[in-house]
Amino acid sequence: MPSISIHNSQLHFTHSPVATNRPTIVFVHGAGGCAADWPYQWQQTGIPPSRGEPRWISDYPRYFLDLPGHGHSQPPARTSIDDYAADVAGFLQTADIRKAVIVGHSMGGAIALTVGLMQPEALAGLVILGSGPTMPVSDAILDGLRTNFALTVGLILKFSWRKEARPLYREMATQHLLAAGSEIVHGDFAACNNFDIRARLGEISVPTLVIGSTSDRMMPLAQSQALAEAIPGSQLAVIEDGGHFMMTERTNEVGAALLGFLRGIDSYQ
């Protein structure tokens, strides 16, 4: 897996290159996660790109990041959304990505919004999944991540997935959180708890798609609706019966919403 030096640490990523002038998609995972949280179908490189109108996510160049301290990236992890956003902005600059669409899930959505304020000139768009203008976390979760890590991870994932979700999905998400460890996961959830971008949402100037799900119990649909209402010109896509990890439970529906947004950006540019 390749890596790049950002702020004196190695940031690992996977890259699916496509020879095109279409925007580059940069995927940013959520709290305690890693690049492998994104659907495998979006990460495949064996699907030849279409020569005409894009038909799927594989028609765009893609980067899947492991945030600092997560997955294969070098520690330390960061302790604030601003610091993570500075790493992602640094990645765009160092990798010379000049027309990026950042797709962020949960904490990754908060990071994407912050990059949208930090470095709008580098962006073609933002896609925010299962996130909100604030991301409050209960004291019980924050304390539990320090005192009874495994049990609290189980509680978090109970609310992250619908009962109908395939057990394999929940097992993989559990492995990722447990592998990240108590300190990093607690730090991520504390960073989310301290996040509040409500006063600045009107400053976001890049095309934005907000995706929320009717069955998300971690970040209810009302949070996505609040984002879409406050960001000028943004679009809202509602996914029926997808949990917090809607991109895995409802891959085709989320992918179709993402593709429609990307096509719109292509036409705009």
Residue 38 lies in a domain: yes
**What's residue 245's pLDDT?**
96
**What's residue 21's pLDDT?**
86
Q: CATH no. for residue 77?
A: 3.40.50.1820
Q: Which H, E and C letters describe the chain, residue by residue?
A: CCEEEECCEEEEEEEECCCCCCCEEEEECCCCCCHHHCCHHHHCCCCCCCCCCCCCHHHCCEEEECCCCCCCCCCCCCCCHHHHHHHHHHHHHHCCCCCEEEEEECHHHHHHHHHHHHCHHHEEEEEEECCCCECCCCHHHHHHHHHCHHHHHHHHHHHHCCCCCCHHHHHHHHHHHHHHCHHHHHHHHHHHHCCECHHHHHHCCCCEEEEEECCCCCCCHHHHHHHHHHCCCCEEEEECCCCCCHHHHCHHHHHHHHHHHHHHHHHHC
Residue 202 lies in a domain: yes
Q: How many domains does the chain have?
A: 1
**What's residue 202's pLDDT?**
97
Residue 97 lies in a domain: yes
pTM of the model: 0.95
The tens place of each residue's pLDDT in the chain, 269 residues long, gives: 699 999 888 999 999 888 788 899 999 999 999 999 999 878 775 566 666 678 888 889 999 999 999 999 999 999 999 999 999 999 999 999 989 999 999 999 999 999 999 999 999 999 999 999 999 999 999 999 999 999 999 999 999 999 888 888 889 999 999 999 999 999 999 999 999 999 999 999 999 999 999 999 999 999 999 999 999 999 999 999 999 999 999 999 999 999 999 999 864 45
**What domain range is 108 assigned to?**
3-133+196-268
**What's residue 231's pLDDT?**
98
**What's residue 19's pLDDT?**
77
Residue 168 lies in a domain: no
